[in-house]
Homo-oligomer: A and B are copies of this chain.
């Protein structure tokens, strides 16, 4: 429950790697997969998905591969998850989805929807750049980035 898909996980890793190597024009799915030991074919499909949603730009053929479509600072973890796993819903009901027989009688869906939004907000406030840059945010005090999230239950 409340667990991130490994696909999304892999996607974040790949994007982070790309963000860390801005000089290279493009990296192939295999390169990225080898860098971490991710199944190449699987990563390929993930990257294709990210390409289709506009987070990456691809180039086929020799010396082809993928590159970030935007600055790493402007790609949020939320977008990545959304692209890979589809709409972000914490419950089985929340607006847009089907499937929960007791949606009418349920009295906690509104509060949970708010929790959903809060978590989405957290994810939106995290960019690929945040993951890539500075390994130890704790080790370098005075420069921590602080995102304030307001929770209204």
Contact = CB atoms under 8 A, between A and B. Distances in A.
Given A102-B37, A135-B110, A137-B152, A2 B147 contact: no
Interface residues of A, number: 53
A115 B153 CA distance: 20
A13 B37 CA distance: 42
Number of copies: 2
Interface string A75-106: 00100010001001111100000000110011
Interface stretch (A21-29, A50-58, A65-73, A124-132): A124-132
A8 B1 CA distance: 9
A62 interface: no
Contacts of A91: 3-4, 9
Interface of A: 1-6, 8-9, 12-13, 16, 36-38, 77, 81, 85, 88-92, 101-102, 105-108, 110-112, 114-115, 118-119, 122-123, 125-126, 130-131, 135, 137, 144-153
